C-alpha cells in the first residue's frame, strides 16, 4: 500500500512536470538559476517591450530584479556609457562620437514608425507632408485652414534628448525649424496623454504607443500602422536600439539575446513594433 | 567645567554657521566656474539676451528668464490676497475653534508634495482654462501661476498669521476701544505693525515660486519663446534645466544650464536683498 502510494506520488510529479514543461521550456530557460539586478534606462518608446520582457523573466525567476526607467535616448546612451545602467535604450543610432567615447555596442531589435497624432475628436485625420511641415514650423496655426474647428493649433514636441524627436524632425519635417511656441513634453507616454487631453493639439509618438486615446494622422494618404511602416510606405521610421558599454555578459547578454528569440519577437510584435529578422 | 562646555558649544555653533554659509557661496562659485567657458566664448550678452535654438548654435536663455519672472510674480499676485484673507480670518475674525482647525489644515497643505499640485492641475485646471478662454492648450503661464500661487499660499498664510499674532495685544485693544471695524483694524493697525514679518513670508514664498520645477514643467507648456500673453506656454529656468540636463554632457546646451543656475541664484539673491533693504529702510524712518 505504501509502495503504491509512493509510485503514485512519483507519477503525479512526473505528470505535473510534463504539464508544466512547456512553460519552462524555450527562450526563458537561460534565465533559470540566474540572479542579480539589471538596470535599464533611456528611450521611452522601448518601455512597453522592456516591461513585458522583464515581467516574463521575473515571474519565472524571482531572484532577478529588472528596473526600467525612461529619460529619452540621450539619457540612455549617457547613462550606459557612464556605467550607471546595464542597458541604455535609444530610438536613434548613437553618434560616432558617442560610440567611440563610451565603447558602445549597439543592438537593433526592432523598427518603429513615428506618427503624427491628434485628438480622436479632431476631424483632421489626414495631412500632406507640406501641411505638416507648415504646422510644426508655425506657418499654419489654425485648424480651420485644414477643415477643423476655428481654434489655434497647439503644437507639441519632445525635448532635445529625444530620439523620437530627432527622427521626426529629420524624416518628417525635413529638418525644418520647429516653432518655438511648441509645447515640450518629456516622454512618449506624456505626449500621448497630452494629445489625449487636448482636442486642438498635434504631436508625434512612436507607432507602438498609439492606442484608442489618440488618433494617428495619415501622411500623404498613408496611414501609419505596423504594416505601412514594415512595407516602407510610411517613411518616418527608425530602429530601436539597446546599447551596452563594451561586450555584454551575464544577465545583460541574456536579456538582449531574448529580444531576438521567437518569444521575444512575439512581444515586440504585440507592442506594435517590427522585430528585426 | 561649565565654561569649557560653553566654549565647545560656541565653537561648534560657529563652525556649523561657517559651514552652511560657505556651502551657499561654494555652490555659486562652482556654477560660475562651470559656466565660465560658455560665458567667455559667446559672451554673457548672447547668453542672457538671445533666444534658444540649439540647432542654430544659439543658447540664449532670455525666454526662460522672462518665463520665470512672469510665472513667479504672477503666482505671488495670486497668493498674496488669498494668504492675507486667510491669515486675517485666522487671526481676527474666526472664533477660536474654527481658526485653530483652519490653521491645522493650512499646516497640512504646506506638506503636500508639489507633484500632487501639478497632477491635479493637469487634470482639473488645464482643461478648464482651455475652455474658459477658448484659446491655446490650457498649458500656459496663467495655469502655472494659478496652481503655483495656491501652492505657495499656505506658507505665506502661516507667516502672515504668525506676524499678526505677534502684534501687542494693547494695539488691538486700543483699536477695539475706538470702535474700529475689522477692516479698519486690519488696514490701520495690523498691516503696519506686522509689515516686517509679512515681508519675510513674501520672500520665502517667492523663493519657493522661483525655485519650483515640477509645476512649471507640468503645467506651463515649456515652449522656448517669450510668451506674448498669459495664455501662451512658457518655460522657466528650472524647467529648462530639467529638460536640458538629459542632453549630452559635452554639448554647449549642457554647459549653458550652469548659466541658468547662476541667473536663478542671482535672481533670488537680488529679491532677498531688495526686500531686506526695504524692511531696513522702514526701520530707519523716523
Contact A236, A113 (CB under 8 A): yes
Verify whether the Cβ–Cβ distance B137 to A72 is below 8 Å. Answer: no
Contact B155, B107 (CB under 8 A): no
Give the nearest partner residue to B135 out of A152, A180, A194, using CB atoms. A152
CATH topology identical between A36-110+239-275 and A113-237: yes
pLDDT greater than 70 at residue B44:
no
* Confidence label for B285 from pLDDT (cuts 50, 70 and 90): low
Q: Is residue B156 part of a domain?
A: yes
CA angle in degrees (0–180, nearest 5) for A168-A225-B123:
70
What is the phi-psi region of residue B115: left when phi exceeds 0, alpha when psi lies from -120 to 50, beta otherwise? Answer: alpha
Give the nearest partner residue to B136 out of A98, A154, A194, using CB atoms. A154
pLDDT greater than 70 at residue A15:
no
Per residue in B172-195, pLDDT (tens digit) is 899 889 988 888 888 899 898 888
CATH code of the domain containing B174: 1.10.3720.10
- At A101, list the grid cell: 567615447
Top pLDDT among B279 and A149 is at A149
pLDDT greater than 60 at residue A258:
yes
**Mean pLDDT, chain A, as a whole number?**
87
Q: Is residue B21 part of a domain?
A: no
Nearest CA in chain A to B217: A185
Quote the longest CA-to-CA distance of chain A.
89
Q: Is residue B35 part of a domain?
A: no
- Which positions in chain A touch B137 (Cβ < 8 Å)? 154, 183, 198, 200-201
Verify whether the Cβ–Cβ distance A160 to B246 is below 8 Å. Answer: yes
**Domain hosting residue B223, numbered range:** 69-249
Long-range (24+ apart) CB contacts under 8 A made by B41-46 are: B41/B252
Q: What's the structural domain count of chain B? A: 1
Confidence check on the interface: ipTM exceeds 0.90, yes or no: no
Contacts of residue A19, Cβ cutoff 8 Å, sequence gap at least 6: none
The continuous run of DSSP H or E covering B181 comes out as none
Give SS3 for A219. strand
What integer pLDDT is reported at residue A260 of this predicted model? Answer: 93
Strand pairing partners for A238? A112
CB-based contact, A195 to chain B, within 8 Å: no
- Which positions in chain A touch B130 (Cβ < 8 Å)? 198, 200
* Confidence label for B248 from pLDDT (cuts 50, 70 and 90): low
Is domain A113-237 in CATH 3.40.50.300, yes or no?
no
pLDDT greater than 90 at residue B252:
no
CATH architecture label of A36-110+239-275: 3-Layer(aba) Sandwich (3.40)
* Confidence label for B249 from pLDDT (cuts 50, 70 and 90): low
List phi, psi (to 5°) of B168.
Answer: -55, 135
Domain limits, chain A: 36-110+239-275, 113-237
Amino acid at each position: 500500500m505504501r509502495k503504491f502510494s509512493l509510485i503514485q506520488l512519483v507519477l503525479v510529479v512526473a505528470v505535473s512536470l510534463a504539464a508544466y514543461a512547456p512553460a519552462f521550456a524555450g527562450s526563458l530557460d537561460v534565465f533559470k538559476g540566474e540572479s542579480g539586478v539589471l538596470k535599464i534606462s533611456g528611450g521611452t518608446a522601448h518601455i512597453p517591450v522592456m516591461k513585458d520582457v522583464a515581467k516574463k523573466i521575473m515571474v519565472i525567476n524571482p531572484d532577478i530584479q529588472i528596473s526600467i526607467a525612461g529619460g529619452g535616448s540621450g539619457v540612455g546612451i549617457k547613462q550606459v556609457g557612464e556605467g550607471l545602467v546595464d542597458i541604455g535604450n535609444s530610438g536613434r543610432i548613437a553618434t560616432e562620437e558617442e560610440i567611440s567615447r563610451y565603447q558602445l555596442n549597439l543592438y537593433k531589435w526592432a523598427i518603429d514608425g513615428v506618427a503624427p497624432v491628434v485628438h480622436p475628436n479632431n476631424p483632421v485625420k489626414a495631412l500632406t507632408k507640406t501641411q505638416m511641415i507648415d504646422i510644426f514650423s508655425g506657418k499654419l496655426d489654425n485648424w480651420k485652414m485644414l477643415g477643423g474647428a476655428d481654434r489655434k493649433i497647439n503644437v507639441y514636441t519632445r525635448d532635445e534628448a529625444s530620439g523620437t524627436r530627432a527622427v521626426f524632425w529629420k524624416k518628417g519635417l525635413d529638418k525644418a525649424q520647429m516653432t518655438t511656441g511648441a509645447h515640450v513634453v518629456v516622454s512618449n507616454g506624456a505626449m500621448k496623454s497630452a494629445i489625449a487631453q487636448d482636442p486642438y493639439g498635434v504631436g508625434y509618438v512612436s507607432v507602438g504607443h498609439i492606442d484608442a486615446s489618440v488618433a494617428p494622422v495619415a501622411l500623404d494618404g498613408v496611414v501609419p500602422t505596423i504594416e505601412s511602416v514594415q512595407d516602407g510606405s510610411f517613411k518616418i521610421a527608425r530602429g530601436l536600439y539597446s546599447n551596452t558599454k563594451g561586450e555584454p555578459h551575464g544577465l545583460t547578454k541574456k536579456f538582449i539575446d531574448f529580444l531576438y528569440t521567437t518569444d521575444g519577437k512575439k512581444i515586440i510584435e504585440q507592442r506594435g513594433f517590427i522585430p528585426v529578422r | 567645567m561649565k565654561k569649557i562646555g560653553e566654549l565647545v558649544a560656541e565653537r561648534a555653533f560657529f563652525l556649523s554657521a561657517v559651514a552652511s554659509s560657505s556651502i551657499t557661496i561654494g555652490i555659486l562659485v562652482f556654477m560660475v566656474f562651470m559656466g565660465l567657458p560658455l560665458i567667455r566664448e559667446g559672451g554673457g550678452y548672447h547668453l542672457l539676451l538671445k533666444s534658444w535654438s540649439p540647432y542654430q548654435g544659439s543658447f540664449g536663455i532670455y525666454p526662460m528668464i522672462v518665463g520665470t519672472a512672469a510665472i513667479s510674480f504672477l503666482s505671488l499676485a495670486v497668493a498674496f490676497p488669498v494668504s492675507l484673507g486667510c491669515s486675517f480670518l485666522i487671526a481676527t475674525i474666526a472664533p477660536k475653534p474654527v481658526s485653530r482647525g483652519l490653521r491645522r489644515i493650512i499646516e497640512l497643505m504646506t506638506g503636500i508634495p508639489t507633484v500632487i499640485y501639478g497632477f491635479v492641475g493637469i487634470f482639473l485646471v488645464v482643461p478648464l482654462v482651455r475652455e474658459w478662454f477658448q484659446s491655446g492648450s490650457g498649458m500656459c503661464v496663467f495655469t502655472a501661476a494659478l496652481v503655483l500661487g495656491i501652492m505657495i499660499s499656505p506658507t505665506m498664510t502661516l507667516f502672515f498669521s504668525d506676524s499678526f499674532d505677534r502684534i501687542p495685544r494693547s494695539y488691538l485693544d486700543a483699536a477695539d476701544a475706538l470702535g474700529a471695524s475689522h477692516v479698519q483694524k486690519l488696514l490701520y493697525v495690523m498691516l503696519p505693525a506686522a509689515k516686517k514679518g509679512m515681508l519675510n513670508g513674501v520672500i520665502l514664498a517667492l523663493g519657493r515660486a522661483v525655485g519650483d520645477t515640477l509645476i512649471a514643467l507640468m503645467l506651463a507648456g515649456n515652449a522656448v519663446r517669450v510668451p506674448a500673453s498669459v495664455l501662451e506656454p512658457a518655460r522657466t529656468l528650472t524647467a529648462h534645466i530639467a529638460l536640458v540636463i538629459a542632453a549630452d554632457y559635452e554639448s554647449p546646451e549642457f554647459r549653458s544650464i550652469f548659466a541658468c543656475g547662476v541667473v536663478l541664484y542671482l535672481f533670488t539673491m537680488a529679491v532677498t536683498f531688495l526686500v531686506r533693504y526695504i524692511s531696513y529702510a522702514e526701520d530707519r524712518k523716523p
